[in-house]
């Protein structure tokens, strides 16, 4: 049976009590005006901001201006006249309020994996004589890969213990031998939110240090690293922070640890006086000690523009909208997808939920490809997870209704069974 795509599109454009309720929510939404500051294709519903955030509309003009005036006209003088050299610190200070950090505690540089390497090595040096690193079995693989490489190449004798998705399984592993706890605040697969304050306090009670990976939480929900007395944190800036593909990542070091924490990647930009060109390394005494090489100047510009949009609201308001969006999607899926073989793996409890909803289905891959063909952009994570990210800066309640209605139509018509949707792609 061949199903016409127009049939699927018509389902989400139908005038129903649910669609009218969604439109009413959008009219009353105090954050609705922020959507216009992002480039979102007409006719599509974008629910993949937990993987790649939408582009701030002003980003192309800003980048073009910097290329023309900075690179094209001022050339190398721009490192001073346009403060290019200080972008890692400037961006870090602007990002800090979103995570409950102070100026001088955040550096925007390198990738999340590289920054995790830096901080994990620093933390392990600060806890000599302790042999256990606690992480989680369903952590983002790169986090585990970095820890495995550190143990193999730098800290022979250390061991990695992997907890489950629940907080209790982390607490059960803590003991006097624990050096470091490395966890994701929000699980990338399920959207489960961990209790940062409780786990940090328990790790400290055991004498351990903690690194939080905030890649799937920062920009979508309130984070208070200093309020929780967190030690270290890392994250990317291209998801909910909308910094663009491959945008520089960031790291956080609590001020109380800056003196003791050592960067294992002793690149020239982390030197106390990099332009003295001293052949002997002497680290900076500030967060700049965690710099390595020359910053990719143009890559910072979309992030800075996105952060200017964040200044127009507050994280509590964004969290309130996020919970409304995810809660509505879960409710709609409960009713519209019943009997179609889906299972919700995201916690229903708001206190345990990030800003995404994850469903499992044995035919998850072709179903997601059918959704994308119908103009609803989510993503797939092996082996069977369909992920939907809700970015409160630009996701609307109408998007929520449209996505649920489209998914229901795809299942009811069998549209997903088209053989074209079975072909696997390199990037999922």
CB 221 within 8 A of CB 202: no
Distance CA 274, CA 282 (A): 9
Percent helix, percent strand, percent coil in the chain, to nearest 5: 45, 15, 40
The reply to whether 124 and 246 lie within a common domain is yes
**Which of 267, 292, 310 is the endpoint of a domain?**
310
- Known catalytic residue: 300? no
Considering 37, 289, 321, 387, which one is annotated as catalytic?
Answer: 387
- Known catalytic residue: 310? no
Distance CA 55, CA 69 (A): 22
| Any domain includes 427 | no
| Any domain includes 373 | yes
Considering 94, 130, 239, 353, which one is annotated as catalytic?
Answer: 239
The reply to whether 98 and 197 lie within a common domain is yes
Considering 213, 231, 379, 399, which one is annotated as catalytic?
Answer: 213
- Known catalytic residue: 127? no
- Known catalytic residue: 4? no
Q: CATH number of the domain at 288, please.
A: 3.40.640.10
Q: CATH number of the domain at 370, please.
A: 3.90.1150.10
The reply to whether 121 and 234 lie within a common domain is yes
The reply to whether 194 and 324 lie within a common domain is no
Q: Say what the pTM is.
A: 0.97
Could you list the pLDDT tens digit for every one of the 428 residues in the chain?
578 898 899 888 899 999 999 999 999 999 999 999 999 999 999 999 999 999 999 999 999 999 999 999 999 999 999 999 999 999 999 999 999 999 999 999 999 999 999 999 999 999 999 999 999 999 999 999 999 999 999 999 999 999 999 999 999 999 999 999 999 999 999 999 999 999 999 999 999 999 999 999 999 999 999 999 999 999 999 999 999 999 999 999 999 999 999 999 999 999 999 999 999 999 999 999 999 999 999 999 999 999 999 999 999 999 999 999 999 999 999 999 999 999 999 999 999 999 999 999 999 999 999 999 999 999 999 999 999 999 999 999 999 999 999 999 999 999 999 999 999 999 98
Identify any residues that bridge with 389 across adjacent strands, giving them in sequence order. 48, 356
Length of the chain: 428
- Domain count for the chain, please give it: 2
Considering 38, 46, 117, 140, which one is annotated as catalytic?
Answer: 140
- Known catalytic residue: 224? no
């Amino acid at each position: 049976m061949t199903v016409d795509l127009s049939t699927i599109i018509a389902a989400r454009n139908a005038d129903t009590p649910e669609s009218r309720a969604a439109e009413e929510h959008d009219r009353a939404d105090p954050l609705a005006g922020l959507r216009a500051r992002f480039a979102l294709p007409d006719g599509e519903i974008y629910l993949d901001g937990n993987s790649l955030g939408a582009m701030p509309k002003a980003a192309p003009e800003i980048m073009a201006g910097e290329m023309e005036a900075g690179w094209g006209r001022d050339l190398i003088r721009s490192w001073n006249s346009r403060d290019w050299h200080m972008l890692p610190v400037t961006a870090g200070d602007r990002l800090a309020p979103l995570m409950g950090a102070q100026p001088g505690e955040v550096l925007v540089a390198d990738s999340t994996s590289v920054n995790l390497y830096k901080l994990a090595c620093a933390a392990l040096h600060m806890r000599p004589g302790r042999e256990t690193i606690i992480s989680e079995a369903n952590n983002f693989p790169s986090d585990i890969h970095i820890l495995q490489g550190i143990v193999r190449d730098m800290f022979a004798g250390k061991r990695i213990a992997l907890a489950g998705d629940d907080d209790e399984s982390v607490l059960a592993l803590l003991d006097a031998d624990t050096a470091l706890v490395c966890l994701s605040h929000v699980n990338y697969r399920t959207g489960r939110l961990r209790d940062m304050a409780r786990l940090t306090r328990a790790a400290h009670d055991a004498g351990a240090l903690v690194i939080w990976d905030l890649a799937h939480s920062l920009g979508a929900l309130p984070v208070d690293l200093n309020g929780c007395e967190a030690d270290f944190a890392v994250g990317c800036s291209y998801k909910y922070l909308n910094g663009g593909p491959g945008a520089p990542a960031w790291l956080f070091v609590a001020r109380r640890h800056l003196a003791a924490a050592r960067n294992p990647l002793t690149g020239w930009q982390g030197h106390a006086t990099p332009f003295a060109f001293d052949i002997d390394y002497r680290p900076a005494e500030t967060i700049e000690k965690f710099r390595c090489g020359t910053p990719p100047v143009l890559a910072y510009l979309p992030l800075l523009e996105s952060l200017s949009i964040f200044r127009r609201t507050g994280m509590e308001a964004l969290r309130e909208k996020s919970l409304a969006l995810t809660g509505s999607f879960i409710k709609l899926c409960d009713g519209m997808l019943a009997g179609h073989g889906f299972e919700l793996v995201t916690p229903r409890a708001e206190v345990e939920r990030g800003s995404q909803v994850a469903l499992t289905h044995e035919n998850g891959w072709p179903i997601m490809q059918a959704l994308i063909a119908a103009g609803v952009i989510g993503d797939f994570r092996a082996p069977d997870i369909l992920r939907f990210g809700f970015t409160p800066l630009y996701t609307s309640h109408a998007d929520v209704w449209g996505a649920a209605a489209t998914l229901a139509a795809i299942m009811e018509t069998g549209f997903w069974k088209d053989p074209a949707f079975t072909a696997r792609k390199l990037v999922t």
